[in-house]
Structure 1
Amino acid sequence: MDKHLQFKDLWAVILGGSGGFGFAAAEKLATHGMNVAVIYRENKAADKALKEQLLQIAQSNSVKILPYNINALDATARESFVTEFAAIAPEDSVKLLLHSIARGNLKPLTIKDNPSDEAYNTLSIDDIQMTTYAMSNSLLDWTKSILNAGLFNNDGRIIGLTSEGAHKYWEGYAAVSIAKASLESLAKYMAVEFSIYGLKTNIIQAGVTATASLKMIPGSEKLLVMGAERNPFKRLTKPDDVAGVIYLLCTDEAAWINGSIIHADGGEHCR
């Protein structure tokens, strides 16, 4: 089969698709004939550049790529998207919902040497709740909205992204770590309870990758060096590496993978 026909007439909805894993997945899936709705939040200049890139990918692969510069965490924006998208995409056509939102607080729990600034520079409960909704619980809201609109394919896939930081200490990563741990737990329950609709829910744990979001983490330079040193292949994970696994999870052969955390890191987690 021509690879450009593999996912003909099917759609991916990518939350957080302006860069990193989300953008790489959009590009990869498009090469296999999948149409893509890319949801992101960018300023005017970045929005224009991204739309030009997405248009080029769409034209090169004869697919539709629809850019939506909206706040994926806003309920009204989400429902407006679903209504608009339902008028474009046929029922049962969403093969993939990919959650790749990277939005959260990178603060310490406490500041020992500067207590006067602690209230402004340390992690609050509100910070944790915002980060957890952005990087975990919002997946459930998006899943329900797409499902209620009758858009999911009867062999649909839901994929979230986690990191090793969910299980070990990274400086300034507490809120994101909590969110990623929550996402892993949520996906387990979604894998069971949404199976009645034919949906398979999995999480990918990517290796250390030099994305814009990772570079915002305090001490990220050390993470990047250690990641390359630990990796059996002596290099960092690339967004394309993870996009390949996302593609594989969308294939018919991956239909029996459900409720799993899949390492896409070249064996980095083994050390």
Structure 2
Amino acid sequence: MNEPNVKNWAIILGGSRGLGLATAHKLSEDGYAICIVHRDRRADLPEIDNQFAKIKKRAPAFYSFNADAVNPQKRKEIIQQLKSGFTEGDRLKVLVHSIAKGSLKPMYNPHGEALSAEDIEITFRAMALSLYEWVQNLVSENMNHPDMRVISFTSEGNTKAMPGYGAVSVAKVALEALTRSIALEFAPLGIRANCIQAGVTNTSSFNMIPGSER
């Protein structure tokens, strides 16, 4: 049982749509304070704000940041602002990584732009390395609950070659490897990490994959 007014927090990276948003809704229903970090265009904000308002009604506390979760300086600013809003005893119980920021260019494209090494690097940093950076920064700020969960999402592209999915495939394989290492090396702090392969889920990110309709 939590002490009165002590809150368990959940940070959802990429929480304005798809799996991240659904997770935010569910965790708010279960009594978690919610912090969503997302990156969206101004035109999309009215519908996003409508979803956030529903979460805010249920959650004991709520923050949202329309900022690049991959940017080191933005990450530190968000963490400091969130930490300043913690009351005594508050801890981060759940970190959900649902960032879908990657290149879907084909490796070979005689009629257009092909996938570059820089595209792969950007995708890897956003969809894999950022998970470790967030965990590392949150732990260094002593914000982690002694029974914290780290959750990320992978896909069958981790083993199956698909056209236009090369950069994301690299990121998903790395994400899984990082998750295993986080689970092992942060275990002394009580942190548990899992990477979920949920199967085909009809989200806006999924629909951007070439051939997703098949």
* TM-score of the superposed pair, with normalisation by structure 1: 0.74
Summarize deviations over 1:132-152 as a string: whole Å, max 9, x none: 111000001111111111111
Summarize deviations over 1:32-74 as a string: whole Å, max 9, x none: 1001100001122322332232122221x25222111011011
- For the structure 1 residues 220 and 162, does the alpha-carbon distance in structure 2 shift closer, same or farther, using more than 3 Å as the test? same
**1:46 is aligned to 2:35:** no
Q: What letter matches 2:172 in structure 1?
A: K
Among 175, 180, 186, the residue aligned to 1:188: 180
The residue aligned with 2:78 is 81
Percent sequence identity is: 38
The residue aligned with 1:215 is 207
Between Structure 1 and Structure 2, whose CA radius of gyration is higher?
A: 1
- Report the CA distance between 1:92 and its aligned residue: 5.5
- For the structure 1 residues 133 and 149, does the alpha-carbon distance in structure 2 shift closer, same or farther, using more than 3 Å as the test? same
Query: 1:66 is paired with a residue of what secondary structure?
Result: strand
Q: What letter matches 2:99 in structure 1?
A: I
**8 Å Cα contact 2:10/2:95 also seen in 1:** yes
Q: What letter matches 1:197 in structure 2?
A: L
- For the structure 1 residues 102 and 164, does the alpha-carbon distance in structure 2 shift closer, same or farther, using more than 3 Å as the test? same
- For the structure 1 residues 196 and 104, does the alpha-carbon distance in structure 2 shift closer, same or farther, using more than 3 Å as the test? same
Q: Where does structure 1 lack aligned partners over 5 or more consecutive residues?
A: 223-271
**CA RMSD, aligned part only?**
1.7
**Structure 1: which 4+ aligned runs deviate by more than 3 Å?**
none
Among 156, 165, 168, the residue aligned to 1:173: 165
Q: What letter matches 1:82 in structure 2?
A: I
**8 Å Cα contact 1:42/1:69 also seen in 2:** yes
The residue aligned with 2:108 is 110
Matches of 2:187 and 2:64, distance apart in 1 = 29
**8 Å Cα contact 2:33/2:59 also seen in 1:** no
**1:11 is aligned to 2:6:** no
Among 73, 91, 94, the residue aligned to 2:92: 94
Aligned residues: 210
**8 Å Cα contact 1:47/1:69 also seen in 2:** no
Q: Where does structure 2 lack aligned partners over 5 or more consecutive residues?
A: none
- Report the CA distance between 1:93 and its aligned residue: 0.9
**8 Å Cα contact 1:55/1:65 also seen in 2:** no
Query: 1:38 is paired with a residue of what secondary structure?
Result: strand
Summarize deviations over 1:163-202 as a string: whole Å, max 9, x none: 0111112221010011000101111111110111110011
The residue aligned with 1:32 is 30
**1:148 is aligned to 2:140:** yes
Summarize deviations over 1:211-231 as a string: whole Å, max 9, x none: 101111111111xxxxxxxxx
The residue aligned with 2:67 is 70
**8 Å Cα contact 2:33/2:62 also seen in 1:** yes
- For the structure 1 residues 62 and 212, does the alpha-carbon distance in structure 2 shift closer, same or farther, using more than 3 Å as the test? closer
